[in-house]
Structure 1
Amino acid sequence: MKLICFTAVLFVSIIFYKAEAKLAEKFSWKQLEFEWPSEEAEKEAISSGRYVPENNLPLGLERWNNRLFVTVPRWKSGVAASLNYIDLNTAEKSPKLRPYPSWDTNTLPIDVEPQQGKTPAGGRLDAEKAQAVDAPLKDNATIISTFRIQVDACDRLWVLDTGLADILGNPKQITPNAIVIYDLKTDQLVRRFAIPKEQTKDDTFFANIVVDAERTDCNNAFAYIPDLGAYGLVVYSLRDNRSYRVKHNFFHFDPLQGDFNVGGVNFQWTDGVFGLAVGPKKSDDTKDIYFHALASTKEFKVPNRVLQNESHVTSPAAYYDFQFVGDRGMNGQSTAEVYDKDTNVIFYTQVNKDAIACWNVNRPYDLESQGLIDSDSHTLVFPNDLKVDAEGIVWVLSDKMPSYLYKELDAAAVNYRILTGNNRELIKGTPCESSDERQPIVV
């Protein structure tokens, strides 16, 4: 736990600000289990290879009402369902996942032969080598494989479906990359939008989606989809039902920050832009979109009005609209970030430190202003995703993904965790807390 200390000549006392809360474990699993329609269905899936428990790794999460959504990408064969949820009314500590919106929509439309493949040498995936499969979806609501999801202000769940199965084995591009939107009040499909082929590159890999929407104007929503493999950003307009690709130097990885050591595993990644957060609305009604590459410690931003102006943002004139914000310092690589409007704080992961950190957007982006929320080499090994819900609860998912990718997970140990904490309690005593709320402790 980080202590923000300073010395004051006041009765020769030392005054410091101390973080007072830690994340608490909500759920944990050794291996993921699912609520199958019947015992016979589960047994058949295991015997056929359609369900291989050790191959199911949770990666993304999102909370809406009494549902906690959890994604399980199809890294390997045998993933039962990619988009799932947990009923938060459960008393179970290791609850079974329920496919969303149904089992049918999470079932592959073709037979994918169970086949264990070799792990790629780096963080970027050789998705362009995937075998294209000509198999139309039975239902446009079908989800093949998703990494990250987001619920918007209008009670809609936005899903980025990569359409790619068995990524590390015998990869098959079953469907094009697509944005899939559900109405959470009815569990019905709102829209499926396939990202045009010309907006992808040979190394393209989409693994995140961030939504910019206001409840007062639900139709005028935008989604930002970072391309971590080919260093670009796809912007999608719901109203216009069209997308376009944006490029910028700031989307690239930092060649000096590609070395990782997590959970005893050393590896090198070249992942570009990945983490994004929609900042607060400013006096001119614009918002800054914060972003960073995974293999980097630097933070950047660009106004949303720039990203939403296709003719401008795709021209050379937009280059200087993108700004450098600051640096998180040594080993500050981050997978995910999210802005919390209640505290004006951006919460973010720090994978090389097994940690969750924070920054108040009203402060300079320097080392003195970065707050350490929690760090734990047992419960926070590779914090992969985090969100802040409407009640101010911070949700964090850690999953030991480097061991899953490059070694082997211990089936007898807890491998996956979801942790929670109150936003204001977690930042108490850190530089992220508003100055008028921080109370010094005199010792």
Structure 2
Amino acid sequence: MYKLYLIFNLFLGCYSTNEKLKEVYSWKKLDFVFPSVAVRESALKSEDYIVENNLPLGLDIWEDKLFVTVPRWKSGVASTLNYIHLNDSSSSPLLTPYPSWEYNQLSTDDENATSHDNIISVFRVHVDKCDRLWVMDTGLADILGTASQIKPPTILVFDLNTDTLLRKHSFKDSDIKAKSFFANIVPDVVPENCNTSFAYIPDLGEYGLIVYDWLNDDSWRVEHHYFHFDPLYGNYHVGGVNFQWTDGVFGLALSAADKINGSRTVYFHALSSTNEFVVSNEVLKNKNASSNSYYDYKLLGSRGENTQATSSYYDETSEVLFYTQVNRNGIGCWNSNKPFTPENQALITSDNETFIFPNDLKVRNGNLWVLTDKMPVFIYKTLDSEEINYRIFMASVEDAIKNTTCEIA
């Protein structure tokens, strides 16, 4: 029976088309809102802006803003943290730098970088329930080229109501190892008391997790065997590209708070793995115990073959965990009221044209948002600038899970 399930789902991954999520935006190539035409022309001439080197990766939504990140994989990225006005009628809108053009200017001048708190390179961002935008700045530019570490990995938190910087926290030497790479951030927030917030930042390169304590402006490193990649699941076939990655812990999602004690379940997985694990947030938040709690981490189960996932998000209303499916060009889900088995995982959409490498997703106001970007083609080959390469989709959670095993009973 299990083999039949795998065959059926692999069949879906090869031949399905996206029928559930509506394409909201799409781009052949990215362009930005520059301060002026002259500044844009100067950036093109100096190669501070190389059009084909700009690839969107992360997204989140707050009111009328759709945030889109553009990491500095290569040189020539105009702005790494940006937004789109959701009321923009264009199907391929320009990206507006956030919170300003100046913040997103790459600078190797230490004095200038300090004065402007320059944002160097961002992969994912997260809006919390206190109207704050959490940004994990890797501090690393031209990752696939000269790989210049302009500043330490740094957490930046912005007040979305005023577009001002609330907090800047650079990681300590003890947080970082030789191959550390921080591409995600997930805040753990109690809306009634925003000052007791924490955030979890996975280290996919050195198989650890950084915990940040807002109240004490402190961070510490947690390590566990479950943060490592699975050597059996480091092989990928995406967009006609075969490659191997050893990425460890990457996707994190938080359950709703327990009604009795307020604790949350932290769901996590390595990118190069098909297993999902859990740990209580109370373990992570305890600085003195978090590295001595081996048995508090549990294996939740396997999603099944070929189900490597970059990003995940737990929707508190439906109690469904959504996750990307990069090897299957689609989006998966699991209803947390059911056992975590391959049979209870659903491939809610899949398309080999429009869903090549779903990279990030979020649920906001009852809607599921997804960004796809053909990233392996961008890294290992060359994107065709005459084709649509980047897309953002949206569907209501209700429609997304309808007629699947994730549907609310």
- TM tier, shorter chain? over 0.9
Give the residue type in structure 2 aligned to 1:185: N
Which ranges in structure 2 are unaligned for 5 or more consecutive residues? 6-16
Task: Select which of 393, 397, 411 maps to 2:385.
Answer: 411
**What is the aligned partner in structure 1 of residue 315 from structure 2?**
340
CA contact (8 A) 1:21 1:425 kept: no
Counterpart contact for 1:263–1:400, Cα < 8 Å: yes
Among 304, 307, 311, the alignment partner of 2:288 is 311
Give the distance between the partners of 2:284 and 2:338, measured in 1 at CA: 24
Say which of 359, 365, 368 aligns to 1:394: 368
Query: Which 4+ residue blocks in structure 1 deviate beyond 3 angstroms?
Result: 138-141
Secondary structure at the counterpart of residue 113 of structure 2: coil
8 Å CA contact 1:155–1:183 kept in 2: the answer is yes
Counterpart amino acid of residue 369 in structure 1: N
| Equivalences for residues 205-220 of structure 1 within 5 A | 205-220=181-196
Q: Deviations over 1:16-74 (max 9, x none)?
A: xxx99611100000000001111111000000010000000000000000000000000
How far apart are the structure 2 equivalents of 1:401 and 1:229? 18
CA distance in 2, matches of 1:414, 1:135: 40
Deviation of 1:135 after TM superposition, in Å, equals 5.5
* Alpha carbons 1:395, 1:419 under 8 Å: kept: yes
Contact kept in structure 2, 1:233 and 1:247, CA below 8 Å: yes
Question: Equivalents in 2 of 1:91, 1:189: separation in Å?
Answer: 29
TM-score by length of 2: 0.94
CA contact (8 A) 1:220 1:238 kept: yes
- Cα deviation, residue 142, structure 1: 2.1
TM-score by length of 1: 0.87
Larger helix share, 1 or 2: 2
CA-CA distance at 1:136 after TM superposition: 5.6
Q: What does 1:21-170 correspond to in 2, within 5 Å?
A: 22-110=20-108, 137-139=113-115, 141-170=117-146
Q: Is the counterpart of residue 267 in structure 1 residue 243 in structure 2?
A: yes
Q: Distance in 2 between matches of 1:285 and 1:167?
A: 40
Matched, 1:353 2:328: yes
CA spacing shift, 1:412–1:20, aligned 2, 3 Å: closer
| Pairing partner for 2:402 from 404, 410, 428 | 428
- In 1: Cα distance, 2:197 partner to 2:237 partner: 38
Distance in 2 (CA, whole Å) between partners of 1:382 and 1:308 is 33
1:143-171 deviation digits (Å, cap 9, x = unpaired): 11000000011000000001111111111
SS in structure 1 at match of 2:394: strand
Could you report, residue by residue, the CA deviation over 1:377-425 in whole angstroms, capped at 9, with x for unpaired residues?
A: 0111000000011x11111000000000000000100000000000111
Shift of residue 280, structure 1, vs aligned partner? 1.6
2:357 paired with 1:382? yes
Alignment of 1:188-199 (within 5 A): 188-199=164-175
Q: Distance in 2 between matches of 1:109 and 1:49?
A: 14
Q: Distance in 2 between matches of 1:52 and 1:21?
A: 34
Cα contact 1:395–1:420 (8 A) shared by 2: yes
2:150 is equivalent to residue 174 of structure 1: yes
- Rounded to whole Å, the distance in 2 between the matches of 1:20 and 1:234 is 36
Task: Work out whether 1:279 is the aligned partner of 2:238.
Answer: no
Deviations 1:79-124 (A, max 9, x none): 000000000111000000000000000001238xxxxxxxxxxxxx
Shift in Å, 1:257: 0.2
Cα distance, 1:284 vs structure 2: 2.5
Contact 1:21 1:426 in 2 (8 A): no
Q: Matches of 1:24 and 1:181 in 2, distance apart?
A: 31
Q: Give the aligned partner of residue 130 of structure 1.
A: none
Q: Residue in 2 aligned with 1:226?
A: 202
Name the residue aligned to 1:115: none
Amino acid at match of 2:290: V
- Counterpart among 268, 274, 285 of residue 297 in structure 1: 274
AA aligned to 2:195 is: N
| Separation in structure 2 between the aligned mates of residue 323 and residue 410 of structure 1, nearest angstrom | 43
Is the 2:334–2:346 Cα contact (8 Å) retained in structure 1?
yes
Q: What secondary structure is seen at the aligned counterpart in 2 of 1:26?
A: strand
Distance (Å, rounded) in 2 between the aligned partners of 1:247 and 1:343: 31
Q: Is the 2:212–2:219 Cα contact (8 Å) retained in structure 1?
A: yes
Distance 2:382 2:353 in 1: 17
Report percent identity of matched pairs. 53
- Output the aligned Cα RMSD: 1.5
CA distance in 1, matches of 2:323, 2:37: 40
Cα distance between partner residues in 2 of 1:230 and 1:298: 18
Q: Which residue of 2 aligns with 1:371?
A: 346
Greater shift in the superposed pair: 140-149 or 194-203: 140-149
Counterpart AA for 1:197: D
Q: Secondary structure at the residue paired with 1:93?
A: coil
Contact 2:18 2:351 in 1 (8 A): no
Name the CA distance, whole Å, in 2 between partners of 1:323 and 1:217: 29
Matched letter for residue 208 of structure 2: G
The alpha carbon displacement at 1:434 in A equals 1.9
Instruction: Find the aligned partners of 2:97 and 2:382 in 1 and give their Cα distance.
Output: 26
Partner of 2:279, secondary structure, is strand
Please give the alpha-carbon distance, in whole angstroms, between the structure 1 residues aligned to 2:344 and 2:111. Answer: 51
Larger Rg: 1
2:13 corresponding residue in structure 1: none
Contact 1:349/1:383, CA 8 A, preserved across alignment:
yes
